[in-house]
Amino acid sequence: MKQESSVKGNAQDAFKSYVSNIKSQIETELIKLNAKLSGLCLHPQIEYAVLSEGKRLRPLLTILSAECVGGKRDKVMSLALAFELMHTATLVHDDIIDQDETRRNRPALHKKWSTNDAILAGDALIALSVDLASGYGQSILQTVAHSALQLCDGEKMDITFSLQSATEEMYLKRIKAKSASLFRASAYCGALAGGGSRAEVNSLSIFGESFGIAYQLKDDVIDLTNKNNLLLRDFKNGTITLPLIHTYSNSGSDEQEHIDAQLQKLITINDNDTRTEIAEKLVQIIRHAGSIDYCEKKIEDYLRQAVASICHLRDTEYKTYLAEMTRALRTWG
């Protein structure tokens, strides 16, 4: 048992070191890329968005997938940056749509400048993403473009989602488009650019999607279990998550009417203390319904699928790191 624990500990330490190194390189490359854009009128806005703190998970997955099939990190770095820029563009646009005032403890771009500036900066980031991906061939470029289209479609589903008609199937379709599509594309394109076989590329694509779904589910659960302003923001914005869908669909008509009334109050009441109290009571309802436990099990199911999808890949340290990504997500939050 001690030996097994030591092996796991070594894997975790090696993974942390690997991620730290990759993130450092990504940050350096983002700074270099940003410097090349200094002549643009939108440079201050692009710099503000691109150089903000982030997990850099999508470029990490691109590089890791490439190295997992024998590819070289420096050969896929531009592709990795393309996925980070695409992700950043969605955050800029999402903040406008959701009317969020902050992003990562700073004013959202549209609040620091203007909505027009934020829209243009987001558009510019998408253009830069496509430009970076264009050097990797038609198949990868088409995948990047398609993932951007899916992101837009997922966002449209998001803003037209209604709790009263929502189902788990509809929710999963939405997050596959809005959240998991970029993870899937990052892994797929990284493996393809790294010279992976068709089987390897497909395996990593499945890993990316399964991990991406689990990631979004975990994010939904964390917002309900952590004491932060994200909980109130999600309820106030009408964000429909799986825990809420599960609770609502398993409630009687009286309970559903109560939930509807409380959500409506969050929109109409201006007192923050009252809104926080309502939000916390809604969390208690969700927890009592067993919906958080239900979602935790779904997260575990998708993480198992992710690990199973790469079991036939060659045994390398990078394959181990992919498995460590799933372990890290389990303990996240």
Domain spans in the chain, listed from the N-terminal domain onward: 2-213+310-331
pLDDT at residue 333, rounded to an integer? 60
Would you call 106 helix, strand, or coil by DSSP? strand
> Is residue 247 within 8 Å of residue 291, measured between CB atoms?
yes
- Work out the average pLDDT over 171-189: 95
**Any idea what the Cα angle at residue 189 is, between residues 73 and 184, rounded to 5°?**
115
Question: b/e for 260-284, b at 16 or more Cβ within 10 A?
Answer: eeebeebeeeeeeeebbebbeebbe
CA distance 43 to 50: 10
CA distance 108 to 93: 10
- Work out the average pLDDT over 228-257: 83
Structure tokens at 202: 């497909």
Architecture of domain 2-213+310-331: Orthogonal Bundle (1.10)
Q: Could you tell me which residues come within 8 angstroms of residue 81 by beta carbon, excluding any fewer than 6 positions away?
A: 26, 29, 30, 33, 59, 132
- Work out the average pLDDT over 141-155: 94
- Work out the average pLDDT over 58-74: 97
**CA nearest 243: which of 296, 309, 181?**
296
Mean pLDDT of the chain: 92
Rg (CA), the chain: 21
pLDDT at residue 4, rounded to an integer? 41
Does the pLDDT of residue 2 top 80, yes or no? no
CA distance 312 to 297: 25
Does the pLDDT of residue 131 top 80, yes or no? yes
Outline where the chain has alpha helix (H): 2-36, 43-50, 57-68, 73-98, 109-112, 115-133, 138-159, 168-175, 181-193, 198-225, 229-237, 242-249, 253-268, 272-288, 291-309, 317-331
Q: Is 51 exposed, middle or buried (0-12, 13-18, 19+ CB in 10 A)?
A: middle
Tens digits of per-residue pLDDT, 7-25? 456 888 999 999 999 999 9
**CA nearest 127: which of 89, 161, 179?**
89
